Structure 1
Amino acid sequence: MPKILITRPLPENVVAEARRHFDVEVRSETLPLTAEEKARALAGFDGVLATLGDTFDASFFDGTPRCRIIANFGVGYNHIDAEAACAAGVAVSNTPGAVTDATADIAITLMLMTCRRAGEGERLVRSGDWPGWHPTQLLGMHVTGKTLGVVGMGRIGKAIAQRAAMGFGMKVVFYNRSAVTDLPFEATRLDRLEEVLGAADVVVLAVPATPQTHHLIDTAALAAMQRHACLVNISRGDVVDEAELIDALRQGRIAGAGLDVYEFEPKVPRALRDMENVTLLPHLGTSTLEVREDMGRMAVANLVAFFEDGAPLNPV
């Protein structure tokens, strides 16, 4: 029976499903693997069910690891050097689909909280200093009928756009490297990223983390946005040049930001934490029990398929 390491505590029914098929060790620590633990994982187990923060760069695949597959718990796998893993004979899989709706919901949450200044209002009430309602208090941006710019029209981008178009009557423009067809709502693909940024009242980032998307939102991109616009990021933190975002917010070049991910996560700059026009969430994109169970079962299914048929269901 293959020996599997699960690197973080997972929902009980996911672990139970894994134990039906494998000799399983579950690491009790909730923080990412240390370098020593990563080396042990590849040398001492036939498969590893890893997740965000368990960084396996090329150096860990030197030699001939015992591990034959890293089943990633999550869609994004930029923390794993998949090319180096493949060269060492280690398959890598992920869990697409399971996270789509929950992540789209968080994007809409951030959009509403930032545009309607909900975080600022909640802090005001909690402080005990709320003086009561008056006509010009915490005036935000009405999102209904505004323009949403989606950067990355994959599964998650489409789900976000559908919620915005059908739920709030928003006009949708988007930037995507390839053509997108059969959308169940009206949307316009623009040829240049800057066109989308300039047209949108709210910009949502839904691209994968790749070398090509690193700092995709930089000084020039932020300069293309309208001054009243808000930026929402539910993709990966390093898609945004965080220092440039802070400068743009400080200088009033954009109106606000809603962030669920951070460039140097879990470190969040004090400058962002001190800004009232920024909504900050602790990477809640997939944080529901049902979704985490679905992700776990998909990761286990990838392991089962690999050891039974030689290939995971969702290779990367």
Structure 2
Amino acid sequence: MSRPKILVSGHIAWANKEIYDLLQPFGDIVWLDSPTRDHFRTVFLPQHQGIVGIYRHNSSADHIGVYDKELVDMLPSSVKFIAHNGAGYDQIDVAACKARGIQVSNTPGAVDTATATTGLHLLISCFRQFTKAEMNARAHKWKAGLPPAHDPDGKVLGIVGLGGIGTVLAQRCKDSFGMKVIYHNPRPRAGAPEWAEYKPTLEQLLRESDCVSLHCPLREETRGLIGATQFEQMKPGAILVNTARGAVVDEKAMIDALKSGKLYAAGLDVYPDEPRITEELFSFPNVTLLPHMGTETEESQKSMEVAAMMCLVKGFQTGEIGNRVA
């Protein structure tokens, strides 16, 4: 009887040894080499029958596209598990997977510290206007046009979506700057730190926060979660930090809030149409822009790769994939 196959759909950068040590005991590893979706459907899949588990990295989208319903429906009936490398899994149609009995996982804890560090950089840069200061320095303008900024010390940090990343960021802001931390989730988070105060409505959080940091996943109910109404509910001169997903924010409404001065500053690591960044954002010296750097460290990327592999290991061992999201 032939062994199951495990498809590596995307890039492995740091755990090339681990993938064989961890997964080969459960099946034969095959690597995605399809340049197009059509090749994947007509050539690759017929050549590789018996795929049970899939390790997926976003880099595979460059070749076969995202795991939308069309792609999920072309997978063989043998597929039981898709282990996605990443905390956000909006590139996978989880409803289509569920309809076919395919379990999907993600790697939330593996990205906590690296993404929280990115959020902390954005937060500090926004309060202190370090982006404009650096632009001045590079343009040999010293402090021209640089009024005093603000200290983050003692300010109110509002976390929208208190999970692993938000908790690490909140802890660092509390410990380093004595910031008061409030948060909003659909319901109070079990095990949330006692110093993090729960706000039952998003509006309450927005009205009280000096800085709002977004950490919620992108789903239909969170698309455009922060729009014109929500910006109006914020304190005058508030700061917005987004390391979640670009589409969680109505970008036009954010730009309007920056123009009006309702937002003092914004720190962005994510955008609605990556890798494109809306050109108008470059005109704001009070906006710090990063090219989705949240997990761009060797340590976090290896941790994510191994975490995704371990999700598959658990699936093969128990029939229930680790970190299951669908």
Residue number among 212, 217, 239 corresponding to 2:226 in the alignment:
217
Q: Which amino acid aligns with 1:130?
A: K
Structure 2 CA distance for partners of 1:215 and 1:101, relative to 1, 3 Å: same
Match of 2:119 in 1: 107
Q: Does 1:161 align with 2:170?
A: yes
* Contact 1:150-1:205 at 8 Å conserved across structures: yes
1:117 aligned partner = 129
Per the normalisation by structure 2, the TM-score is 0.86
Answer with 186-195 or 95-104: which moved more. 186-195
Question: What code does the residue aligned with 2:13 have?
Answer: P
Whole-Å Cα distance in 2 between the matches of residues 151 and 41 of structure 1?
42
1:57 aligns with 2:84: no
Q: What is the root-mean-square deviation of aligned Cα atoms in Å? A: 2.4
Select the residue among 141, 145, 163 that pairs with 1:130. Answer: 141
Structure 2 residue 105 is matched with structure 1 residue 93: yes
Match of 1:76 in 2: 88
Q: Residue 153 of structure 1 contacts residue 176 of structure 1 at CA under 8 Å; is this kept in 2?
A: yes
Residue 175 (structure 2) pairs with residue 173 (structure 1): no
Cα offsets for 1:116-137 (capped at 9, x unmatched): 111221122122x224x58x83
For the pair 1:304 / 2:313, whether they are aligned, the reply is yes
Aligned partners of 2:7 and 2:54 also within 8 Å: yes
Comparing 33-42 and 88-97, the one that deviates more: 33-42
Q: Contact 1:148–1:173 at 8 Å: present in 2 too? A: yes
Deviating more after overlay: 253-262 vs 185-194: 185-194
Q: Are 2:34 and 1:19 aligned?
A: no
Q: Give the number of equivalent residue pairs.
A: 309
Match of 1:280 among 289, 300, 306: 289
1:36 maps to which of 23, 35, 38? 38
What is the alpha-carbon distance in structure 1 between the residues aligned to residue 195 and residue 290 of structure 2? 30
Gaps of 5+ in 1: none
Q: TM-score, structure 1 length as denominator?
A: 0.89
Out of 17-26 and 138-147, give the one that drifted further. Answer: 17-26
Gaps of 5+ in 2: none
For residues 103 and 44 of structure 2, what CA distance do their matches in structure 1 show? Answer: 14
Secondary structure (helix, strand or coil) at the match of 2:109 reads: coil
